[in-house]
Amino acid sequence: MAKIQTPQPVRGTQDIFGEEQERFQHVVETFEHVRRLYGFKGVEMPVFEPTAVFARSLGETTDVVSKEMYTFEDRGGDSLTLRPEYTAGISRAFLTNGWQQHMPLKLSAHGPIFRYERPQKGRYRQFHQLDAEIIGASEATADVELLCFADQLLQELGIADGVTLQLNTLGDAESRDAWRGALVEHFQAHRKDLSEDSQDRLDRNPLRILDSKERQDRPIADSAPDIDAFLSSEAKEFFAQVTEGLDACGVAWTRNSRLVRGLDYYRHTAFEFVTDRLGAQGTVLAGGRYDGLIETLGGPATPAVGWAAGIERLGMLLTEVPEASMEIAIVPMGDEATVKALSVANQMRKTGFSADIFGSGKFKKRMARANQVGALAAIIIGEDELASGKLQFKNLASGEQTALDVPEIIEKMWELRFSDDLDDLDSELLTLEQDVPAAGEND
Ligand code: ATP
Ligand code: MG
């Protein structure tokens, strides 16, 4: 018989498992924790939208719309697109659900995103984003709050040290138009030296030449005029409020006057958190103020600001990944003991302890695995234990072993978990003490 060929995964997709999955999970859980601290409501969004949602929001000239979207016709003949970002879909939802009544609305989401790109390390065709948006807030305090959220997320993930916040302003419409005029003039003068892509951008979306990655464009982009000379006094004041807010909150930032968000509706704040630890895929979190977007979707003028971060890229930066530990390892010897093990495991889990049955292989091997998964204790069940109803309870840290019934085991487990938590707390306090300068040290 001919050998059946196993279907292969789609290029640029990932099957995330083991340590990688622990990293992924830790990023998502930390995000969920921090977004609650900031009062962001979670939102679940469709994975696909009518193509027009993205084509109109992002604009036909963007890389995403012109080259990267997964667009298809469904059986009813409608053109649909797998979401290449969250913002456009959330803005659509804001309008179609009449969420205006909840403004200012702080929303967060996370899940898969699809872009047809050349796959490489940190760049996939299905990847995953964290997303945070504030809709209906025109004040700079919203930008600051959102950046504090991003900064705290990176702090809590323990990766803030290697990541820099690059910040820019694109000004208001008036500043931006004046700047755009000067840019076009500058790029026109160097037109023949620009890459083909950038010559094309010059006609359609000149700002985007500034963040071109083509080597031949760089000197021309780098010598282009800054926006600073064109900022209106209102735009200057807005940027000053953002930077003052960041300074007041202790969020470090650097100015990058080349940083643009290419889309026409972007205003004022634009930012990226960048690291040099991921090669070419160095941007881990990016966003800005998109005051004009909701209007381009047919809604009323609505100020908004947001960011998105790649979960995989954040996961790759983690140096400490909390291990998923199993608290109790149950080791039954024999068939009858295995049935008992199932019911004991059930009782433990219902009480709130994680428990797993190590039911096959040599006794020594099973105990070794129990240690490997970081179990606090093992419950060993053999013929004697079945007869007496007292199970062997082994504290895996001390090696101490006693015969106990199930209620006694539960009591012991509470004690063990409590002292384990205390140990953790002790070591946390110790590092805190080391971080706090001794009295007088700062004078
Ligand atoms: P890049 O310049 O790396 O292509 P981008 O400007 O296209 O990024 P955004 O649209 O701002 O990225 O998306 C926000 C974040 O999503 C990025 O900072 C990055 O962390 C992540 N990201 C974007 N594209 C991918 C991808 N193909 N694979 C993995 N993560 C991605
Ligand atoms: Mg991209």
Per-residue model confidence as pLDDT tens digits over 403-431? 999 999 999 999 998 888 887 778 777 77
275 lines ligand 1 (CB under 6 A): no
332 lines ligand 1 (CB under 6 A): no
Rounded to whole angstroms, the Cα distance separating 128 from 130 reads: 7
Nearest CA to ligand 1 atom 12: 286
Give domain status of residue 211, yes or no: no
Residue of 281, 290, 307 to mutate, ligand 1, most atoms within 8 A of C-beta: 281
Residues 127 and 252 in one domain: yes
Rounded to whole angstroms, the Cα distance separating 143 from 242 reads: 7
Residues 151 and 260 in one domain: yes
Give domain status of residue 9, yes or no: no
- For residue 184, name the pLDDT band (cuts at 50, 70, 90): very high
Give domain status of residue 12, yes or no: no
Residues 143 and 271 in one domain: yes
Residues 57 and 151 in one domain: yes
pTM: 0.91
pLDDT for residue 442: 47
123 lines ligand 1 (CB under 6 A): yes
Is the sign of the CA dihedral 87, 164, 226, 60 positive or negative?
negative
Give domain status of residue 124, yes or no: yes
Nearest CA to ligand 1 atom 22: 310
Residues 155 and 98 in one domain: yes
For the cut 70, the answer to whether the pLDDT of residue 436 exceeds it is no
CA atoms within 13 A on the CB side of 216: 10
Q: What's the gap in Å between 213 CA and the centre of ligand 2?
A: 11
Residues 420 and 282 in one domain: no
Annotate 264-313 with DSSP letters as a single string.
TT-EEEEEEEEESTTTT--EEEEEEE-TTHHHHTTS----EEEEEEEHHH
310 lines ligand 1 (CB under 6 A): yes
Average pLDDT over residues 271-284: 92
Any idea which residue has 């190590």 for tokens?
358
Give domain status of residue 223, yes or no: no
286 lines ligand 1 (CB under 6 A): yes
pLDDT for residue 430: 76
Q: What is the pLDDT of residues 134-177, one digit of tens each?
A: 999 999 999 999 999 999 999 999 999 999 999 999 999 899 88
Residues 34 and 107 in one domain: yes
Domain-terminating residue out of 261, 293, 317? 317
| Ligand 1 atom closest to Cα of residue 123 | 28
Q: What's the gap in Å between 418 CA and the centre of ligand 2?
A: 47
Residues 365 and 273 in one domain: no
Q: How much is the mean pLDDT over the chain?
A: 93
401 lines ligand 1 (CB under 6 A): no
Neighbours of 405 (CB within 10 A): 12
pLDDT for residue 362: 94
Which CATH number goes with the domain that contains 262? 3.30.930.10
Average pLDDT over residues 293-307: 95
For the cut 80, the answer to whether the pLDDT of residue 439 exceeds it is no
211 lines ligand 1 (CB under 6 A): no
For the cut 50, the answer to whether the pLDDT of residue 443 exceeds it is no
Residue of 313, 314, 316 to mutate, ligand 1, most atoms within 8 A of C-beta: 313
Q: Structural domain of residue 74, as residue ranges?
A: 19-172+232-317
| Ligand 1 atom closest to Cα of residue 314 | 20
Residues 387 and 249 in one domain: no
- For residue 435, name the pLDDT band (cuts at 50, 70, 90): low
Give domain status of residue 81, yes or no: yes
Residues 298 and 410 in one domain: no
For the cut 70, the answer to whether the pLDDT of residue 203 exceeds it is yes
Ligand number nearest CA of 127 is 1
Domain-terminating residue out of 266, 293, 317? 317
Q: What's the gap in Å between 261 CA and the centre of ligand 2?
A: 12
313 lines ligand 1 (CB under 6 A): yes
261 lines ligand 1 (CB under 6 A): no
Nearest CA to ligand 1 atom 4: 281
Note whether 381 and 340 are within 8 A (CB): yes
Give domain status of residue 11, yes or no: no
Joined together, the tokens standing for residue 326 give 């199993």
Is the sign of the CA dihedral 255, 257, 263, 265 positive or negative?
positive
Q: Domains in the chain: how many in total?
A: 2
Residues 47 and 72 in one domain: yes
pLDDT for residue 324: 73
Q: What is the pLDDT of residues 21-76, one digit of tens each?
A: 999 999 999 999 999 999 999 999 999 999 999 999 988 878 899 899 999 999 99
pLDDT for residue 437: 55
Domain-terminating residue out of 298, 317, 336? 317
Residues 350 and 311 in one domain: no
Ligand number nearest CA of 283 is 1
Q: What is the pLDDT of residues 350-370, one digit of tens each?
A: 999 999 999 999 999 999 999
Is the sign of the CA dihedral 384, 386, 387, 392 positive or negative?
positive
Which CATH number goes with the domain that contains 353? 3.40.50.800
Give domain status of residue 10, yes or no: no
Note whether 62 and 263 are within 8 A (CB): yes
Rounded to whole angstroms, the Cα distance separating 307 from 340 reads: 52
For the cut 80, the answer to whether the pLDDT of residue 5 exceeds it is yes
